[in-house]
Structure 1
Amino acid sequence: MKYVIGIDIGTSAVKSVLVSVEGKVVCEHAESYPLHRPNPGWSEQNPEDWADRTIESLRRLMEKSKADPADVEGISFSGQMHGLVLVDAAGTALRPAILWNDTRTTPQCCKIEQMLGSKLLDIARNQALEGFTLPKILWVQEHEPDILSQASLFLLPKDYVRYRLTGDFAMDYSDAAGTLLLDVAGKEWSADIAQAFDLPLSLCPKLVESSGQTGTLLPAVAEAAGLLPSTKVFAGGADNACGAIGAGILSEGQTMCSIGTSGVVLSYESRKDVNPQGKMHFFNHGEENAFYVMGVTLAAGHSLSWFKDTFAKESTFESLLEGIEEVPAGSGGLLFTPYISGERTPHPDADIRGSFIGMDSGHTSKHFARAVLEGITFSLRESIDIIRESGKNITEVTAIGGGAQNETWLQMQADIFNANIVKLESEQGPAMGAAILAAYGCGWFPSLEACAKQFIRPFQTYAPDPDRVKQYDGLFSIYQDVYGQTRELNQRLAAYRK
């Protein structure tokens, strides 16, 4: 039996999946690592934690599965986007990684917008937001110049892990697109952007396709992981690009909704001349010469986790959501906006905060729980609508992540999006996308799409209910008014946040 391994370097844990040539997930294993917040708004991790836990995850995966190491032909990666890892000439990380959800870089984002103007959207196709990599480099340039002077390269999280496993430095196009340093359509590092901030292009690693081979395992790593040094290692991609591959989003018009800590609506795009003018993200796909447009809700699953931890800490998610199907659509006039960490799409606003609107004494915990789910889904619909306004006809959406685990929430997505929602038979998200990249890289299939057809199978479809669609349309228009009505209030409240 032949196998490949997909590795997803997440924000809280690394997950490895062993997948057979038939597309069956034979075994999986996850290893967690800490997140550090040394100052308000900061979010950092130790890159060595990613590497050590990845090797441990591979070792445990091989032990649990009892697979013959000689049968594992390839490994590939998915990784959390944007995180800055600076390494010296010896490949040693010079400081903790600054992560995607770190918000310290607002002044640097303003500087980028002022220096580049419309050129930023023309080249990088994205606005300067705190999550992206270039603002983090500029923060280090301003606050830790000695560190930047020692840096030989900048890497992203999965690229550092892959370097530690292979000794090879590289970055794929889908992850590079989230740095603000890539000419997205031209598929090359932008000398114009780098020069504007006195950054040498030599700081940027070589660029490769997501399915490109970037070496084999170092002998010591192979021994520690229970694999062979001859195991092929492929570049991999950004977590959202790999999530798209793992959901089969590989042709025009296909769309997915992924709800994890953040929430993502992503739609395949074959045209490289698309410029959403900052309303949506526009990135390179993990498939060669393809792209995708994407909207992000910063606190999607995080809003539900926050609600549980704050108001029902002893409950499981299952018990928290038990009975919400009995609460009518609209939660009895209770609306929630999931802005508890700021927002990304369509409001790139680090200061906005969440709200419950319409509370009365008749509302129970089930009304609040349902309102949280509805608010998250309303936020994601804003991205769906922007994609539709660009001319795409979205009639079907593939659901992955936490939002695909609850039937009531799946039906809610169908009703709020007014589209069929498809749940997959075995949903492994970005880790499966990484496995598909490895399988294609190993030559098992003639294309990523052919591989996806073998590996991914629909399980159930949820159709929109016309009456609830109409009801949610009315509620959605009220939801859209909340941002404008509360923006100034939140700006005034910002001074009181400690």
Structure 2
Amino acid sequence: MLLLGIDIGTSSVKVSVLDAVSQSTIASAQFPKEEADIISLQPGWAEQSPELWWEYTQQAIAACNQSGKYNPEDIAAIGIAYQMHGLVLVDKDQKVLRDSIIWCDSRAVEIGNAAFEAIGEEKSLSHLLNSPGNFTASKLAWVKENEPEKYAAIDKIMLPGDFIAMKLTGEITTSISALSEGIFYDFIDHNISSDVINYFGFSKDLFPPVQPVFSVHGTVRPGLAQKLGLKNSIPVAYKAGDQPNNALSLNVLKPGEVAATAGTSGVIYGVSDQPVYDPQSRVNTFAHVNYATNQTRTGVLLCINGTGSLNRWAKSLFGSDISYQQMNEEARQINPGSEGLLVLPFGNGAERMLNNRQVGAQIIGIDVNRHNRAHIFRAVQEGIACAFRYGLDIMRENGMDPTVIRAGKANMFMSDIFTETFVNVTGVPVELYKNDGSAGAALGAGIGAGIFTSPEEAFNNMLPVQKIEPTGNQFEQIYQQWKTLLEKQLTTN
């Protein structure tokens, strides 16, 4: 029996097919081969076409099927992971009304700040666990204010994964986890927040039916199944945002367990059994995939917008003639600290952990007689690791103090330099696993379709491929220098 997982990322869509018994990946593919574009019509704006996500999804499924490594007729369930906080709008005919305003778009910051003040800081934090900030609800309010004709045509609002499920099944659903990531969910009233919809003037009719994350969200339409080479009526049995899904893929489901990822953005995500919140909303709390009204499982999320995106920028500007592996090998020749070169990795929109400030990416301390591109390659990775430490310290203020962090051996965690710096700067060991977001979505589908009797069964074959322990405190001085630079920028910016 096989499971198919779809991961709608910012850079690409990845599809994986797993064997349900061994929980091992049989085939995977991603589109586009080069990183997908982000449409930025104005500074701070970021949009993508939902129809392109769908096109990439179909191409990736076809590529997996054409690998010849399995019989597509054996696929029993589909799961979907997706970039969080994106806003997708469709009319009554399920036609997309505009490009999606995605997670790193900053246009709605002031709208969210005004809602935070109007609803009241204490009530927002205790009921929503967040400020409306720059999340999906505020983006919808921006459309209502600035594009009233498009707003008037909306039948349903959804997140990126809901859209792909709609294209597969023709049905639109949501979940408590999804509502919470959009800042639409009231954790005390256990319902769509009346404070949010009344303040913004939204109708409840805009929201799809609410179902558990692990449940059947529809079955693949017969004509489409034939086109995709699949059997009829395969259930879409799981949908979750990329960070809750990344935690699931690493079997991070219990209070105190912590996951990390360093793809386009960087995230530390810890599970709690309390409705915790940061008084400044610098880290954010959402309903985890296994949240229920009678079992609190929240995910405390630290996000750094520009991690892999900054590393990619450095490569395109200084290392377009080499691979990422060669780039890391050059950086390996430079001593820790990059001979005084410091990088602030904040160039991809407003940073929540910096109170929605836009500090910008900065390279400080360049000595043209000493520094070459290898110094920049290392300093970029060190700067990203220091940003993780800064955010982890905020999480520690809010009661999240991990003894080990689990991560997939993918993206920046494929770099020994980044991983070693991350471990030594944070002081926390890291366990690396082979699973990625698309594999996690496939396993989630197995749980939702009842193929696994429990989440524990879905991960009974999962073992770490590597564990990295801290080796010394020489990185503390590097971090303190970096932190001093950041705090200086925050006071002058």
Give the shorter-chain TM-score range.
Answer: over 0.9
Tell me by how many angstroms 1:345 deviates: 4.7
CA contact (8 A) 2:328 2:417 kept: no
Q: Which residue of 2 aligns with 1:421?
A: 430
**Of 284, 287, 302, which residue of structure 2 is paired with 1:295?**
302
**Of 85, 105, 109, which residue of structure 1 is paired with 2:88?**
85
Tell me by how many angstroms 1:59 deviates: 2.4
Q: Which residue of 2 aligns with 1:116?
A: 119
What secondary structure, in the 3-state scheme, does the structure 2 residue paired with 1:213 have?
coil
Tell me by how many angstroms 1:292 deviates: 1.0
**Of 420, 424, 441, which residue of structure 1 is paired with 2:448?**
441
What secondary structure, in the 3-state scheme, does the structure 2 residue paired with 1:265 have?
strand
- CA RMSD of the aligned region, Å? 1.9
Q: Which residue of 1 aligns with 2:215?
A: 212
Q: Which residue of 2 aligns with 1:18?
A: 17
Tell me by how many angstroms 1:434 deviates: 0.8
Tell me by how many angstroms 1:216 deviates: 0.9
**Of 302, 305, 312, which residue of structure 1 is paired with 2:319?**
312
Tell me by how many angstroms 1:389 deviates: 3.0
> Under a length normalisation based on structure 1, what TM-score does the superposition of the two structures give?
0.92
Deviations 1:401-430 (A, max 9, x none): 312211222222211111211111x232x2
The number of aligned residues is: 481
1: distance between equivalents of 2:68 and 2:194? Answer: 47
Q: Which residue of 1 aligns with 2:143?
A: 140
Letter in 2 for 1:17: S
Q: Which residue of 2 aligns with 1:31?
A: 31
**Of 114, 129, 132, which residue of structure 2 is paired with 1:125?**
129
Matched, 1:344 2:351: yes
Q: Which residue of 2 aligns with 1:412?
A: 421
**Of 265, 274, 277, which residue of structure 2 is paired with 1:275?**
277
Tell me by how many angstroms 1:185 deviates: 5.4
Letter in 2 for 1:27: A
Q: Which residue of 1 aligns with 2:466?
A: 460
Which structure 1 segments of 5+ residues have no match?
Answer: 492-498
CA contact (8 A) 1:129 1:348 kept: no
**Of 252, 257, 282, which residue of structure 1 is paired with 2:255?**
252
Q: Residue 390 and residue 487 in structure 1: after superposition, are their counterparts in 2 closer, same or farther (change >3 A)?
A: closer
Matched, 1:8 2:7: yes
**Of 47, 51, 59, which residue of structure 2 is paired with 1:48?**
51
1: distance between equivalents of 2:2 and 2:361? Answer: 45
Deviates further, 206-215 or 440-449: 440-449
2: distance between equivalents of 1:15 and 1:45? Answer: 16
> Under a length normalisation based on structure 2, what TM-score does the superposition of the two structures give?
0.93
Which structure 2 segments of 5+ residues have no match?
Answer: none
**Of 347, 366, 390, which residue of structure 2 is paired with 1:382?**
390
2: distance between equivalents of 1:67 and 1:476? Answer: 48
Q: Which residue of 1 aligns with 2:373?
A: 365
CA contact (8 A) 1:242 1:432 kept: no
Deviations 1:358-406 (A, max 9, x none): 3333223222211111110010112222233333442211123312211
Matched, 1:397 2:405: yes
CA contact (8 A) 2:5 2:441 kept: yes
Q: Which residue of 2 aligns with 1:495?
A: none
Q: Which residue of 1 aligns with 2:185?
A: 182
CA contact (8 A) 2:169 2:219 kept: yes
What secondary structure, in the 3-state scheme, does the structure 1 residue paired with 2:253 have?
coil
Deviates further, 316-325 or 238-247: 316-325
Tell me by how many angstroms 1:93 deviates: 1.4
| Identical counterparts, % of pairs | 26
2: distance between equivalents of 1:287 and 1:77? Answer: 16
CA contact (8 A) 1:3 1:71 kept: yes
CA contact (8 A) 1:78 1:238 kept: yes
Q: Residue 53 and residue 392 in structure 1: after superposition, are their counterparts in 2 closer, same or farther (change >3 A)?
A: closer
CA contact (8 A) 1:18 1:27 kept: yes
2: distance between equivalents of 1:328 and 1:66? Answer: 44
2: distance between equivalents of 1:185 and 1:61? Answer: 44
1: distance between equivalents of 2:168 and 2:360? Answer: 41
Deviations 1:168-194 (A, max 9, x none): 111122222121111245542112210
CA contact (8 A) 1:345 1:382 kept: no
2: distance between equivalents of 1:388 and 1:488? Answer: 23
CA contact (8 A) 2:109 2:356 kept: no
2: distance between equivalents of 1:7 and 1:266? Answer: 21
Tell me by how many angstroms 1:74 deviates: 0.2
1: distance between equivalents of 2:316 and 2:430? Answer: 28
Letter in 1 for 2:76: E
What secondary structure, in the 3-state scheme, does the structure 2 residue paired with 1:214 have?
coil
Deviations 1:14-72 (A, max 9, x none): 11100002111000111225432333332222222222322232222222145333311
Matched, 1:234 2:243: no
